[in-house]
Amino acid sequence: MTDALTIVFFPEGAYGPTNNCAGIGAVLRGRGHRVVFILEESFAGTMEARGFEERLMRLGPPPAEPEVPGQFWIDFIRDTAPVFQKSTLEQLGEFIAPTWQALIDGAKYVDPRLREIFEDVAPDVIVEDNVVAFPAIAASGRRWVRIVSCNPMEMKDPLLAPFSSGYAAADRSGWAGFLDEVRRTHGDMWSDFDAFCREHGDTGLTYGPLGPEFIGESPYLNLYSYPAEADYERARPLAPTWHRLDSTVRAADATWDLPLDLRERDGALIYLSLGSLGAADVGLMQRLVDLLATTEHRVIVSKGPLADQITLHDNQVGEGFLPQPAILPQVDLVITHGGNNTVTEAFHHGKPMIVLPLFWDQVDNAQRVDETGFGRRLSTYGFRDEELTDAIDELLADTDLARRLAAMSARIKSSSGTVRAADLIERVGLA
């Protein structure tokens, strides 16, 4: 065995990045390394339950009143759902910029706590999966690795549409106007954060002709997860420190069986999941559930934080939260919001997708799934009933697509992305 390392994972406070890091961390722990997770307090105990050490932090002051579980998502959707129905250009000022600002505020608030953690744990490698910089990482003087859990358009290139635009690669007509609006809505915020990073020990950020960067590349190692068959052509190759992982699907930590009454029914098996945010829009979820009840198919529904407000039908089964890694291998088609984790897991298992995006890189994933022919992008709030049902029937009947997806899945599964990531991280720590 190689010399034991201490490796810190610092994922964004969301299930996708945390689960990706857990899959890689499990490989490293199996090799005898000490693996420590830095987590928001709301995630306390989740990694300990998987056998990892935890260090907890907050990205903002604690609330004056105890938070009701799930209340954040209820309030968020109530206030934000109307913005999701607007164009991505309109979202820049009304949603994307405020979201970046909240992330930046969190990075500023947590900086002293991160320095304490790094001093205490003394890691050989810090692995971060975030979308904004945390100057305490560079200031620690330790080797660090960046993981990108978003669509690869986050790594900008002249051949790629602006990040979070959802624009088609073949139509550049709106690109310049989108980037002008990015500068108008993001420029001052970026300048302030760049100054903060430099003042606190980071090398600083860049703002090029393709837009602002809120996090820099690691000089040691950068990883992203997207299969080669769906990845983008680039005018400029990524630096040699960048490595693509076709997927980082974690092993299922729970089993899940389809109830007997659905097993005995005819019809394809569909998985519906719009993530925590999408599922908290009960009106949207109920419309989808009711529409899918009119088809001949069986449906597994990830109902989300307001599960008790969503009524299922005879051809459906679901819970608030489901073990997705155990379910995806069983289904024939996935209806998703386009989160990078679900999209790459569907690719991994060779499942066609219908993508109903809300914001951020979901719109980019939806566009990529559509333009590569691996599924369909529909207007989340504007689709007609027959658009969805026709898309389901056409995708399920597409034998050429089924062969493409099966071949892609077999290739991805033949080489483990989590093992490759662990190898590369280990190499950084032992250098």
Whether 177 has a pLDDT exceeding 80, the answer reads yes
Break the chain into its structural domains and give their ranges.
6-246+415-430, 260-414
The predicted pLDDT at position 19 comes to 84
The predicted pLDDT at position 74 comes to 64
Contact 244, 266 (CB under 8 A): no
Per-residue confidence band for 70, with pLDDT thresholds at 50, 70 and 90: low
Contact 182, 173 (CB under 8 A): no
- CA dist., res. 297 & res. 209, Å (int): 48
The predicted pLDDT at position 248 comes to 81
For the segment 296-308, the average pLDDT, to the nearest whole number, is: 94
Architecture of domain 6-246+415-430: 3-Layer(aba) Sandwich (3.40)
Determine what percent of the chain is predicted with pLDDT higher than 90: 81
The predicted pLDDT at position 72 comes to 59
Per-residue confidence band for 68, with pLDDT thresholds at 50, 70 and 90: low
**Average model confidence (pLDDT) for the chain?**
93
The predicted pLDDT at position 158 comes to 96
Architecture of domain 260-414: 3-Layer(aba) Sandwich (3.40)
Q: What is the pLDDT of residues 319-351, one digit of tens each?
A: 998 989 899 999 999 999 999 989 999 999 999
Contact 405, 350 (CB under 8 A): yes
- CA dist., res. 340 & res. 17, Å (int): 9
The least confident of 148-162, 249-263, 285-299, 406-420 is 249-263
The predicted pLDDT at position 427 comes to 97
Contact 376, 391 (CB under 8 A): yes
From the list 198, 224, 189, 225, the residue with the least C-alpha distance to 96 is 189
- CA dist., res. 428 & res. 419, Å (int): 14
The predicted pLDDT at position 279 comes to 87
pTM: 0.93
Determine what percent of the chain is predicted with pLDDT higher than 70: 96
The least confident of 71-85, 205-219, 339-353, 381-395 is 71-85
For the segment 172-189, the average pLDDT, to the nearest whole number, is: 98
Q: pLDDT: is 153 or 3 the higher one?
A: 153
Per-residue confidence band for 90, with pLDDT thresholds at 50, 70 and 90: very high
Whether 71 has a pLDDT exceeding 70, the answer reads no
Q: What is the pLDDT of residues 192-229, one digit of tens each?
A: 999 999 999 999 999 999 999 999 999 999 999 999 99
The least confident of 54-68, 229-243, 271-285 is 54-68
Whether 73 has a pLDDT exceeding 60, the answer reads no
DSSP character string of 27-62: HHHHTT-EEEEEEEGGGTTTTGGGT-EEEEE-SSPP
Q: What is the pLDDT of residues 101-143, one digit of tens each?
A: 989 999 999 999 999 999 999 999 999 999 999 999 999 999 9
- CA dist., res. 202 & res. 215, Å (int): 10
The predicted pLDDT at position 252 comes to 65
Do 6-246+415-430 and 260-414 have matching folds? Answer: yes
- CA dist., res. 182 & res. 149, Å (int): 22
Q: What is the pLDDT of residues 36-51, one digit of tens each?
A: 999 998 888 999 999 9
- CA dist., res. 345 & res. 340, Å (int): 8
Per-residue confidence band for 52, with pLDDT thresholds at 50, 70 and 90: very high
For the segment 350-379, the average pLDDT, to the nearest whole number, is: 97
For the segment 224-242, the average pLDDT, to the nearest whole number, is: 96
